[in-house]
Structure 1
Amino acid sequence: MTTRVLAAGDHFVLNRLLIDAVREQVPEGLEFTELTLDWPLVPFGRVAEVDEASGTEDQLIEALDGAEICLTQMAPLTRRVIEASPRLRLIGIGRGGPVNANLKAAAEHGVAVCCAPGRNAGATAEHTLGMILAAARRIPQTHAELTAGRWRSDYYRYDEVGIELRGSTIGLVGGGAVGNRVAEMLAALGAHVLVHDPYVTESAVAELVSLDELLARSQVITLHARVTPETTGMIGAPQIAAMPAGGIIVNCARGALLDYDAVCDAIDGGHLFGAAFDVFPEEPIPAGSRLLSTPGVTLTPHLAGASRQTAANAAAILAEDVARHLRGEPLAHPA
């Protein structure tokens, strides 16, 4: 008996990656159909009741006709889509969380949902390290000066130069998959690493401390926490003021963790040396945002997890759960 699988990839997690990964796990008995979504060429958004989705409900309903399995990263798995797809039994979402799927509707209709946690941990950790170095050594600013035809040797003034990572104390707020890799890399470079995470009880490379102690001791703070009611806005003006003068803040996790205006105020006032951000309260960044004009702020457009390995990892993780589903085994990464 043949099982029909819809690969609803995009221009990052490609259909060929999804199909090849599944065929490696399940060589026979599958029939694939394909739908290519517009992301990231067209930004994702809210579709009906789900967030961060690409494509339309009608588009997906047509593509899912007769499919038992849907593999995607961004497709809108809404209640309407699920109800219109009676043969659907498994949804695989190639990202850390299933924000683009209506889990309640899926459960009501007997549709299992799995996702791909940790798929981008390596890419995000490496990007974080790059952002720390960029902010500490003013790499983007000095590059811009050179391309504008200005040789700024005054950046060599003591008050303008940054720190080395070796011997510096760097604090990580969050010690999960990404935070742990960042801690390992920083420790290998000779930094003294602090971690605040109430769910982490031991670390081979970092000293576990309270948030207050981390703020008071860290020359660089980088955020790696999940957004919850407890962590939303957890770093604001009082926390920034508690940091040593000349500090740096990096955020490659989620924009809701941080008060960005407070960061701009602290840079303008001279308390912070700089900052580096890959995530923002509103994306894309609105024209006129202070982030676009505050000196010493390095910005990237939510690309920390963007690597070829991330896309391949997402496909491989989903493929393993497709094989489990077809064997009647519990999913490794249920949503």
Structure 2
Amino acid sequence: MTQGFRSAFAGLLTFLLVSLPVGAQELPVIRVIATGGTIASRPGDDQLTGSALIEAVPQLAGVAQVEVEEFSRIGSSGMTPNHWLLLAKRINELLDAEPDISGIVVTHGTDTMEETAYFLHLTIKDLRPVVLTGSMRSATAISADGPANLLTAVRVAADPNAGGRGVLVVLNDEIHSARDVRKTDNNRIDTFVSAEWGALGVVDSDGVTFRRSSETLHTVQALPSLAGVEALPVVPIVADFAGNDAMVLRSWAQQGVSGIVVQAFGGGRTSPEMRRAISEIASEGTPVVLASRVPEGRVIGSEQQAEAGIVAAGDLPPHKARVLLMLALLHSRDGTEIQAIFATH
């Protein structure tokens, strides 16, 4: 267990106020919550602290009163659903307790930024902006993109038009909805793209510009709060492939998981053995969500299918369908009710 993980669970969150110039009290207050990731990484050395990230971008002092606290110092491949719960609870507590905060920025690794952002999109119960950012290059790399992304994310969080749009992901001067954004390249800095629906806006030298909003339910309109929730349902993702004998899918079901997401072929179609196994598993009371390995286009279900416990993921990719199913299962195991949640979130 990493030191960052232990500190997160123990609630040992460090609070540091970055020194501000005279007159900065008129600027919006933005809390940066550092979780680690490439933006804080230094190959061969310890990750940077949250305060070190802020101090490396002196231009922040002209944008906002920046406060920083550390949640963890881990790569996002080490993030777990327990981290998601703790982070959501921390942000909700912070926004409830401190009305003077204008927005939140979370620095995060890019490997699982999509999942964390979408989880927060569904569980933060406040209209003030929550923005995730990170980087593709380490803090010591030539032309590191972390400082620019952090500055841009703070500018978005401080913008009065950013509220009420759900959780945002900001990198490479683009603003994306947590629901729609995908990481699309293993190496390039323009990796985060909302290919099917488009970015919400951009950040230019003269300001923040929004051009659309997310139409699905989020934040205060989404699922009920996580109050009292100490653990999330266990939901694996099982990939289909040519010649699949469905042994992995059946094995998960035999372990008593709460639900399963199947990464299916185009349109949610599955191989013959997987199709039989899905029907059997759903009939025994374990909800199964069909998502597609194809990057764009909806998986379309039917009322009959939902009644049988087989849910269509719509345009959510498998890893985000898993996030939504985990939260939906806190409220219902009925296929029709879960399908309605997928249709609106």
- TM range, normalised to the smaller chain? under 0.3
The one of the two structures with greater contact order (alpha-carbon pairs below 8 A, sep at least 6) is 1
The alignment's TM-score, normalised by the length of structure 1, stands at 0.28
Structure with greater Cα Rg: 1
